[in-house]
């Protein structure tokens, strides 16, 4: 909540700092504007995505609320600006990678709703929101963008930090077909697969479904590995059997939650880095909202949501979501001590 309030405080002043074209308005038809990309949100994912764009020839103008997050990119040649407003004033292709819907709305709403006719996003700008948020918010922001002769595309990603580093992310894009085709080459500089899922909000729908399944699978993998270990099986042996059998899944093979089974994943470094438990809880909350709105039954999704919420309340919010394995072990220890 403190982080969201910080973003809101910052964004409330955007109409003051303004998106004056005098800050550096560039005609979108120029070669320079095509090469310059705006990037807002340089966390675990955004930093690597932005770096890949620079490595592949783009100039970047960047912003993050944590100034320390911009240091590495600045050394590589990115131009760091003090507000999101200045990012929008210097680029016509702007990527946002933020933790949640309130952050995205906080950044994008003031850009488009500024009432002054000489301020606002440059005409024909395309905002590419790679944050994972609810579909309704995406649709609302797209509608506002349209009134300003701009386009908003929801473009969440899958693959995690490892894929962000290697440039092999999957992008799930919702929005107009023409603008999708226009930005597809740009996204392929950060990913290996770019899919047009349909109209605005469809990208978020696909991402929410994927992450609900991921959250469920990780809990199942953690429970299975924990049970096998308690029954005397070596975790490496058990994992190898699962991964050559019908129980095989990404959580067991590529991101196993047991420390030491897979090298260089969060479980093997005390669950640091990776995809935070609080983010998984947030995404499962989005799935709950979507299920209610569509009349869908998701009992396992609901149980998974409760488990990740419980983890957050027990101090696991900042750890990778695969820490559900550690959570289960600690829960067993506590339960056994009270018997």
From the list 207, 264, 319, 334, the catalytic residue is: 207
Q: How far apart are CA 208 and CA 211, in angstroms?
A: 5
Tokens of 316: 């696991």
Cα–Cα distances (Å) from 63 to 40, 86, 199, 247, 297, in that order, read 5, 9, 28, 43, 40
The Cβ-side half-sphere exposure at 242, using a 13 Å CA radius, reads 23
Cα–Cα distances (Å) from 193 to 52, 131, 152, 196, in that order, read 15, 17, 20, 10
DSSP secondary-structure letter at 245? S
Contact 22, 120 (CB under 8 A): no
Q: How far apart are CA 79 and CA 91, in angstroms?
A: 12
Cα–Cα distances (Å) from 14 to 60, 87, 187, in that order, read 21, 12, 28
Contact 131, 104 (CB under 8 A): yes
The Cβ-side half-sphere exposure at 307, using a 13 Å CA radius, reads 25
Report, in this order, helix, strand and coil percent for the chain, each rounded to 5. 55, 10, 30
- 207 carries an active-site annotation: yes
Q: How far apart are CA 1 and CA 138, in angstroms?
A: 21
Cβ neighbourhood burial of 75 (10 Å; 0-12, 13-18, 19+): exposed
Q: Is 87 helix (H, G, I), strand (E, B) or coil?
A: helix
Active site amino acids:
207
């Amino acid at each position: 909540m403190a982080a969201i309030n910080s973003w809101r405080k910052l964004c409330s002043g955007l109409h003051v700092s303004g998106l004056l074209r005098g800050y550096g308005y560039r005609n979108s038809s120029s070669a320079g504007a095509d090469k310059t990309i705006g990037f807002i949100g340089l966390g675990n994912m955004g930093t690597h995505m932005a770096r890949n764009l620079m490595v592949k020839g783009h100039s970047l103008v960047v912003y993050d609320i944590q100034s320390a997050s911009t240091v590495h990119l600045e050394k590589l040649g990115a131009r760091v600006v003090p507000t999101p407003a200045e990012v929008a004033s210097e680029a016509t292709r702007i990527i946002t990678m933020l933790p949640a819907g309130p952050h995205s709305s906080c950044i994008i709403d003031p850009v488009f709703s500024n009432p002054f006719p000489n301020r606002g996003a440059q005409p024909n700008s395309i905002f590419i929101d790679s944050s994972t948020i609810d579909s309704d918010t995406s649709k609302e922001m797209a509608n506002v963008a349209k009134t300003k002769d701009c386009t908003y595309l929801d473009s969440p990603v899958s693959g995690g930090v490892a894929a962000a580093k290697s440039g092999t992310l999957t992008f799930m894009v919702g929005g107009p077909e023409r603008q999708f085709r226009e930005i597809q080459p740009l996204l392929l500089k950060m990913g290996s697969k770019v899919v047009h899922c349909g109209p605005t909000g469809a990208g978020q729908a696909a991402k929410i479904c994927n992450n609900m399944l991921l959250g469920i699978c990780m809990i199942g993998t953690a429970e299975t590995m924990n049970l096998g270990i308690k029954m005397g099986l070596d975790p490496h042996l058990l994992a190898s059997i699962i991964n050559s059998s019908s129980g095989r899944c990404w959580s067991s093979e590529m991101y196993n939650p047991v420390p030491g089974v897979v090298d260089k994943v969060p479980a093997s470094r005390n669950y640091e880095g990776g995809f935070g438990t609080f983010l998984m809880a947030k995404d499962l909350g989005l799935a709950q909202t979507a299920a209610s709105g569509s009349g869908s039954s998701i009992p396992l999704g609901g149980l998974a949501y409760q488990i990740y919420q419980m983890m957050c309340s027990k101090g696991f919010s900042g750890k990778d979501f695969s820490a559900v394995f550690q959570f289960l072990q600690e829960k067993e220890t506590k339960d056994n001590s009270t018997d």
